[in-house]
Chains A and B, each alone.
Chain A
Amino acid sequence: MSSPESPPPSSGDEDLDPLIHSPARLKILTVLKEVESAEFLFLLRHTDLTRGNLSSHLSKLEAVGYVRITKEFVEKIPRTLIQLTETGKAALEIYRKRMLERLDRLK
Chain B
Amino acid sequence: MQTSTELNAIARKVQQAYYEDGLADIFMGVLLLGLAAFITLLAYHIYFLVFMILALNPLFYIPLIERAKQRWVYPRAGYVKPKPLQETSTRGAVLVLFAIVLLVIIPAVTFFILSSYTGLFFWLVWMAPATFGLLISIGPFFIAYKYHIARYYLFAVLPPPIGAIVPWLNLSFPSAYAAFFTTLAIQFAIVALLALFSGIVLFLRFLRRYPVEPTDSAEGEKPHVLA
Contact = CB atoms under 8 A, between A and B. Distances in A.
A80 B224 contact: yes
A41 B77 contact: yes
A47 B77 CA distance: 12
Interface string A87-104: 000000000000000000
B10 A46 contact: yes
A38 B78 contact: yes
Contacts of A37: 80-81
Interface residues of B, number: 30
Interface string A31-59: 10111111111111111000100110011
Contacts of B84: 36
* Interface magnitude class on chain A: 35 or more
B80 A26 contact: no
B17 interface: yes
Given A43-B78, A46-B14, A27 B2 contact: yes
A60 B70 CA distance: 30
Interface of B: 1-2, 7, 10-11, 13-15, 17, 70, 74, 77-84, 210, 213, 215-217, 221, 223-227
Interface of A: 23, 26-27, 30-31, 33-47, 51, 54-55, 58-59, 62, 69, 71, 74-75, 77-82
